[in-house]
Amino acid sequence: MISVEQALDKILSCVEVLEEEPRPILDSMGQVLAEDIFSTIDVPPLDNSAMDGYAVRSEDTSGASRQSPRFLRVIDTVMAGSISECEVEPGTAIRIMTGAAIPKGADSVVRFEDTDEVERKGASGETGILCEIKPGLDIRRAGENITRGSLVLRKGVVIRPSEVGVVASLGRSQVMVTRRPTVAVLVTGGELVDINQPLPAGKIYDSNTYSVAALVRRYGGIPEILGVVLDNEDSLVAGLQQGLDADMLITTGGVSMGDYDVVKDVLAKEGEVVFWKVQMKPGKPLAFGRIKGVSKAGIARNILHLGLPGNPVSVMVTFELFARPAILKMMGRKNLAKPTIEAVIKEPITNKDGSRIFARAIVEKCGGQYFAQLTGPQGSGILTSMTLANGLVIVPEDKPEVGKGDIVQVMMLDWNEES
């Protein structure tokens, strides 16, 4: 049986980075920039005020103090977005709001707090300046954020809200990014009922479709829900054929040793099995390979197929370990690993069969140290445990037991790969 690392290596060596596409900036979050972005403008485009106050000639403030204010005649008011037509001449000032362009003649801004704005001391139509200021004070220079022609964002950057904002500040509405993969999701099992149907005796609701589709979305892919198929080869083949336009196929269930576990047989007949079974728990009966066929669009495809186990927890854990990095790689992301931390485990864990164990845990920080506590019973059908967990405690294959108080590695499920 292969190890978790060997399985991931095999999967990633089959996965290719997808093509580039133009995207509206707001839809590009989490995608990788596929072009260098240069600015065609200065940001800000003009010298402007950093404060609400008065635009002045700094020499006019020489000798000003609270005891002996310098009085300047106010000749205009300018708000953000407007340009004053007046020029600041010796002995005058223009009332100016934050963001408004600095008027001709002025070389600095005196903020209201340094004038007699509140307790007017001089005549009406005048402002009293209460301190000396230096040239350039409270002026934001044209291009101080971004100069025209400069490289603003480099190809390969992962787009976050700050990148979206910076691209918008250049007046651009679209960027070239590596495209998101489409991931077809097909679940197997005669016991499964769609969530929109009543629940007959003996059946259960299909939750895997939704947890997998949610995970696909979380990591930036586009889920394509194919629904439920029965545990026989014909149903499964028919279902898989519906997903051949996707970049990757994910099935759940039907990969164990049971009489009706037909996924690996279908994979062998309709394509190629790269591996079956990984030395881990939960999630051992994972299958990976390729399915060949002709897509709905009439194109011959040889598409990656990840056959996840059926148990809802095994599905989520194996998705995090194998499907998530595959999706991120397709999107051109370079950091594929979830952050792991060291934590003190609050209870013992036994490892009976020499597998890599991923135990659901609640991780908390206390006095500069992380502590991990298991979520309770670790049965791989107990999906509510995943709602409690924020981490997976990793017990290595060669460790039959970790004791209470030992240091363990924990994969942090809600932390970003880029962090």
CA distance 248 to 237: 15
Q: Of Mg ion, ligand AMP, none, which one does residue 279 interact with (CB within 5 to 8 Å by kind)?
A: none
Sheet containing strand 70-78, strands side by side: 108-111, 53-56, 92-96, 70-78, 126-129
Kindly state the smallest distance separating residue 148's Cβ from ligand AMP, in Å. Answer: 55
Decide the pairing of beta strands 369-374 and 340-345: parallel
Q: Does 325 bind Mg ion (CB under 5 A)?
A: no
* 100 versus 229: smaller Cβ distance to ligand AMP: 229
Q: Which amino acid is at 291?
A: I
Catalog residues that contact ligand AMP under the rule CB under 6 A. 187, 189, 191-192, 204, 206-209, 252-254, 256, 258, 309-312, 381
CA distance 200 to 63: 89
* 207 versus 241: smaller Cβ distance to ligand AMP: 207
* 31 versus 318: smaller Cβ distance to Mg ion: 318
Specify the DSSP class assigned to residue 259: T
Q: Of Mg ion, ligand AMP, none, which one does residue 252 interact with (CB within 5 to 8 Å by kind)?
A: ligand AMP
* 49 versus 208: smaller Cβ distance to ligand AMP: 208
Residue 384 to residues 125, 193, 254, 273, Cα–Cα distance (Å): 70, 19, 22, 32
Contacting residue, 53, 253, 282, 391, with Mg ion by CB under 5 A = 253
Beta carbons of 80 and 46 less than 8 angstroms apart: no
Q: Of ligand AMP, Mg ion, none, which one does residue 282 interact with (CB within 5 to 8 Å by kind)?
A: none
Q: Does 391 bind Mg ion (CB under 5 A)?
A: no
- Exposed e or buried b per residue across 235-262, where buried means at least 16 C-beta atoms within 10 angstroms of its C-beta: bbbebbbbbbebbbbbbbbbbbeeeebb
Contacting residue, 271, 310, 312, 325, with Mg ion by CB under 5 A = 310
Q: Does 189 bind Mg ion (CB under 5 A)?
A: yes
Kindly state the smallest distance separating residue 310's Cβ from ligand AMP, in Å. Answer: 2
Q: Of ligand AMP, Mg ion, none, which one does residue 139 interact with (CB within 5 to 8 Å by kind)?
A: none
Nearest to 207 by CA among 138, 99, 65, 308: 308
Beta carbons of 315 and 294 less than 8 angstroms apart: no
Kindly state the smallest distance separating residue 230's Cβ from ligand AMP, in Å. Answer: 11
* 192 versus 230: smaller Cβ distance to ligand AMP: 192
User: What residues line the site for Mg ion (CB under 5 A)?
Assistant: 189, 253-254, 310
